[in-house]
Structure 1
Amino acid sequence: MSVNIQNSWIGGLVAALAASLCCITPLLAIFGGISGAATYFNWIEPFRPYIIGLTMLIFAVAWYQQLAVVRRGQEDCCEPVKRSFWKSKKFLLVVTLFSGVVIAFPYYSSFFYKTTQPIATITPQAKFKFVKLNIKGMGCADCTKHIDGVLMGLNGVSASNTSFENAETAVRYDPTKTNTDSINLKIKEIGYQSTLIKNN
């Protein structure tokens, strides 16, 4: 039974990580330089509710097994067998809480993505151009803050507005300072994929 408990929390932890993988990978791209990583996992997003449900079911089974073992140990006449920390309720509680934090990551991920003010030196009376891009790899609405914050730090970009619902970003930029290729490259560097919709 203890082996089943261990397998249960491992499965629950893996499922919890999978549920938020599409949001975690852009953060990994920041710290680890994993270019385009989010694109590989964006197919997971539609299945997120089912994966969360599976995670909850796995942990429910793990806790049932854990409590059943404790109950049987209390009912036995003989002295209960000492169990290692890795098979204890304390460790299962730690893993359960950690999985909850991972699942909730999309709801607090914006704390990791700072909103950057333009650092660009915009040419006086510059004739701005606008580009609209389709974005792949966004796992939650907070991903828009990540994209906009990074693009606003790109020299020549004066405005960036990303929509999670439409999977698009609209960027206003000074063509004497930057171009669509640089904007596309910056989006790719932070773990997303973009394709041109409109440029004028």
Structure 2
Amino acid sequence: MKKSLLTSGLLTAIVSSLCCITPVVAVVVGASGIASTFSWLEPARPYFITFTILTLGFAWYQILKPKKEADCYCETPARPKLIETKTFLSILTAFAMLILAFPSYSHMFYPKTGSQTELVDNENLQTVEFSINGMTCASCEEHVNHEVNKLSGIISSTTSYDRGNSVIEFDSLKTNVSEIETAINRTGYEVTDRKEK
């Protein structure tokens, strides 16, 4: 089994989820603007996943196929190198599968922002819907919600990458539409339109 086969399988798994890993890293390091850096990779994700599965499948085939009997009675090494063992390939496969599934559980890595349960006068309550470009997974949704909820006066924020929007309910005495738009744009995703309700 070649090192390049394992390396390419692992790298492809990482690249396939890079668009969803980056927003989490951005929140952790405090660099929100880099969140959308790899969103252009999302359309190619199915190809990366397929390549990863085929590469690891071939590696498993190589390690599990029956060994040929030696033609000579030469001395063979008693223990294979670690990289040539089923244990190493099992660990690598498990790690690759965790990385491939990252978009489905990435939301768990976002810090919870405290909900603001202040009483708001109905005449100060305002709702706005932003159309957002560049979101590709649940991690993107959480990143937008995280940034918006840092603002004072946010009552609720519901973001959907499927619909490409975010609906924000807020107290107009404590924040305004342009501050919210700035917070969303700070994530690296782009607000393309807004509708005040």
For Structure 1 versus Structure 2, the TM-score category normalised by the shorter chain is 0.7 to 0.9
Could you tell me which runs of 5 or more consecutive residues in structure 2 were left unpaired when the two chains were aligned: none
Among 75, 84, 90, the alignment partner of 2:81 is 84
Q: Trace 1:61-76 onto structure 2 (pairs within 5 A).
A: 61-68=58-65, 71-72=67-68, 75-76=69-70
Partner amino acid, structure 1, of 2:152: N
Among 1, 5, 9, the alignment partner of 1:8 is 5
Moved over 6 A (4+): none
SS of the equivalent of 1:40 reads coil
Deviations 1:29-51 (A, max 9, x none): 11112333232211222222221
Q: Give the distance between the partners of 1:34 and 1:88, measured in 2 at CA.
A: 40
Q: Note if contact 1:115-1:146 (Cα within 8 Å) is conserved in structure 2.
A: no
1:35 corresponds to 2:32: yes
How many residue pairs get aligned? The number is: 194
Q: Trace 1:1-200 onto structure 2 (pairs within 5 A).
A: 2=1, 5-68=2-65, 71-72=67-68, 75-76=69-70, 77-81=73-77, 82-119=79-116, 121=118, 124-141=121-138, 143-190=140-187, 192-199=189-196
Could you tell me which runs of 5 or more consecutive residues in structure 1 were left unpaired when the two chains were aligned: none
Structure 1-normalised TM-score?
0.81
Q: Note if contact 2:17-2:45 (Cα within 8 Å) is conserved in structure 1.
A: yes
Structure 2-normalised TM-score?
0.82
Shift in Å at residue 158 of structure 1? 1.2
Partner amino acid, structure 2, of 1:127: N
Identity, % of aligned pairs?
Answer: 36
Deviations 1:111-136 (A, max 9, x none): 22355443375654552333222223
**RMSD over aligned Cα, in angstroms?**
2.6
Deviations 1:57-101 (A, max 9, x none): 111122223335x724xx224332343223333222211110000
Q: Note if contact 1:16-1:99 (Cα within 8 Å) is conserved in structure 2.
A: yes
Q: Which has the higher helix share?
A: 1
Deviations 1:121-170 (A, max 9, x none): 56545523332222234332454344335433421111212122211001
Partner amino acid, structure 1, of 2:8: G
